[in-house]
Structure 1
Amino acid sequence: MNYLHKKLVKRVFEEAQVKSGKNSKSGQAEYLSNQFEELGHQITSRTFTSIYNKYVLGNEARAVTLKPELLEFMAKYIGYDSYEDFVTNNTTPSEKQQNPVKTKSKYFNLERIVLYSLLAVILGGLCYSFFLKKEPKCMTWNGEKYEVVSCDISEVEVPNDIIIYDATIYKKQHKLSLSEVKVGMSYYCKMNKGAIEFYAYFGKHPVTKEHLKPVTPYMFNKYVKPNLE
């Protein structure tokens, strides 16, 4: 992960805490969403929260990226002329040692670029089909099951979080009707107001992230069987 991105995001949230007086991450994210909209860049509070989770807390499962335009707005928000200005003024000698920056001569860099370009052309011509790769996939919960979406899609366009594609969860996890629930093979989660949802695969609830529990004979006889009769 880019350490400068982490530093920038952290500084932005610290600035939001000072200006808004809000101590919660969600409160700061909401404040930032309103501020950036006024600056001409629309971004939801949920996206800001995802950015914080990924770049500050290190939650790599979050499928969110910092695009160049957003980096510019974030740098200007904390008082820099541009993102380049932020990078220039926030790279200390110790950080350079931890995150080495190329220090070779321009001639060497140009030579290496040319060499890499030639190798890419040669390898591409010899084994074009071998190097064809599919774009990374992500998925989101649509209320009944997971569906595949582009990793570049905005979280504004979907009701639930966008996560990295997992073939097993994508194929196996979905909601169950009462007639499909089986003891020892199905899972459940108690929701607000006492409602219970049943699922086909173990793990976490797609929305609340609560751990799903296996359906026991007691649960089946109390919550499922009476509604089947």
Structure 2
Amino acid sequence: KNKGIIKPSLTEKATEISNYLEGETNFIIGERSLRDYRSAAQKLENDDGDIRIKQVDVISGLCSYLGYENYQDFVKRNEKPKVDRTILTETPIVKPTVESLPKKSILRNYRFYVLIGIMCILLFWLYNYTTRQRWMVWTDDHYIEVDFDAKKYDIKQLKLYKEDRIVSFKKIKVTCLTDFFHPDGSVLVWYGKNREKQLEYFTDLGLHPETGKTLKPISGYMINKHICVE
């Protein structure tokens, strides 16, 4: 819907998630497999069973897509509290009335409840602060964190905040003198074409900020053909 598709089909939804998983985990899973998982989950909706997803990268990517840090965070935040049935059958404890308590005891209890109340407020504020949704936008050659403002930013510009994108993902200019590889041969630069079909270079793998297409690792062929041209 953010891209202007009012009634996206199941295939379009699955394709969107498939592209996200590929960019997030570098793991390729087809939209058909995702639709099969959805169908299996719907059949078990009213049961206690669950579907089995064998690929760990897919599980981690889906959790990230939903805004969770990882699978453990997903389980923790969706775990249903267990009720101890034995407590419900025990004889209720008769609490003493205020009149029967000494003044010092009343004051001590009052301070205790005030302290508990303050702690609950602080914990509630801390929870909202740490779990609030954060956003970022692409500016020229890097991402910056911003507040969600649909009037200031195009909805297509706003992306879910990712610290690694802020810290290590940059667009760079390259020459023959650029270090394209680590000493062990691993890649330092990735490339992709912008909307004008021009090659652009980046410091990390991921999706092109403008086109959303997966960036490719640099190769000796690309360096010789497009960068170190004699």
Would you tell me which structure has more helix in proportion to its own residues?
1
The TM-score with structure 2 as length reference comes to 0.42
The TM-score with structure 1 as length reference comes to 0.43
Q: Bigger radius of gyration, 1 or 2?
A: 2
